[in-house]
Amino acid sequence: MKILLLEDDFKLSSEIKVFLQEKHFVCDAVYDGNLFLRQFANAAYDLFILDINVPGVNGLEVCSLIRQSDKATPIIMLTAFGQIEDKVEAFNNGADDYLVKPFHFDELFIRINSLMRRNQNPQQSDEIITVEDLQINVSDLKVIRGGTEIYLTPKEYQLLLLLAKAKGKPVSKQSISDIVWDLNFETGTNTIEVYINFLRKKVDKNFDVKLIHTRPGFGYYLKSEE
């Protein structure tokens, strides 16, 4: 497992290297963007870790340059704390994850592992759940009905997916609360109604055939007709 690290602070770089070697990764470290790109062209790596503020070509530019030729290799950006915009920019440039300095090495280890795993067995793409003219593309989180894309918030999407996966069987409010929200999180019954309402507005409102139905006492279900 080979990792290429771009970090201009010598001490930091060597600490990260020590840690990664400890975890049995092979780690090469470079100190400026130009050197990184040369190294990137010369050798194959399984993961890149990029600091943003480095001499030569900066980390964000390096990231987008990598993505021009290599779409698959995971990239973790290291950002200085307080620089919120960097994170947004990092994702726009094709990074897979970011860590805010100073980070916990265990956290870095977890992120590396999860990205590696994802990269080794890529999700079965093209999994599409269809209910009437509603299509939920599980791999890229897109929802399309009647040919137009519906933009859902993460919670709305999870709720729709849960109903769709139940294949027409009603899902109780309690299950919705437990699955869509996590266990530390208790929602009032009212909240679930509000979210069903949001979903109805986006999914059903502009269409003649209503898909989201309520069965009083049991919960909600997704079906073309009663």
Partner 1 sequence: MISLKQRFTINFSILLSVILAVVLTMIYSIFSQYRRTEFKLRLEEKAFSTAALLADLNVSKQDALEILDQNSVDKLYNNRILVLDNDLNLIYSSISGATQIPSAEDLQLLKTKGSFFFSDSKIGRYGMARKLPANKLLYVFVTAEDKSGERLLWFLGYLLLGAFIVGTGSVIILARSLSGRILLPLKQIQERITNISEKRLHIRLEEKRNNDEIDKLARAFNDMMDRIDSSYKQQKEFTDNASHELRTPVTRIIMQIQNLIALESHSDKTKQYLSSIMMDSNQIADTISSLLLLSRIDTGKISEFFPPCRLDEIIFDATQFITKAYPDVRILFNIENQSENDIDIEVKGDTNLLKIVFINLFKNAYLYSSDKLINVSLIQENDDLKVVITNNGEVISADDRENLFNAFARGKNSKNIQGTGLGLRITERILNHHHAHIMYEALNENSNCFTVLFKF
Distance in angstroms between the alpha carbons of the first and the last residue of the chain = 54
Closer of 9 and 204 to partner 1 (Cβ): 9
* Site size with partner 1, rule: CB under 8 A: 34
Task: Please state, as a whole number, how many other Cβ atoms lie within 10 Å of the Cβ of residue 147.
Answer: 7
Q: Which of 16, 95, 134, 196 binds partner 1 (CB under 8 A)?
A: 16
The smaller minimum CB distance to partner 1, of residues 40 and 157, is found at 157
CA-based radius of gyration for the chain? 23
CB of 214 to partner 1, least distance (A): 17
Nearer to partner 1, 85 or 126 (CB): 85
43: amino acid identity, one letter: A
Asked if 110 interacts with partner 1 (CB under 8 A), we say no
Among residues 101, 114, 107, the alpha carbon closest in space to that of 47 is found at 114
Closer to partner 1 at the Cβ: 182 or 226?
A: 182
CA distance 131 to 91: 32
122 φψ region: left (φ > 0), alpha (ψ -120 to 50), beta (else) = beta
Is residue 102 at the binding interface for partner 1, with CB under 8 A as the rule? Answer: yes
Q: Which is nearer to partner 1, 198 or 223 (CB)?
A: 198
Q: Which two tokens stand for residue 196?
A: 């069903």
Residue with tokens 């590396």: 112
Query: Under a CB-based contact definition with an 8 Å cutoff, are residues 58 and 33 in contact?
Result: yes
Residue among 101, 165, 200, 202 that touches partner 1 (CB under 8 A): 101
Instruction: Work out whether 9 is an interface residue with partner 1 (CB under 8 A).
Output: yes
Which residues of the shown chain bind partner 1 in the complex (CB under 8 A)?
Answer: 9, 11-12, 15-16, 18-19, 22, 80-82, 84, 87-88, 100-102, 104-105, 153-155, 181-182, 184-188, 190-191, 194, 197-198
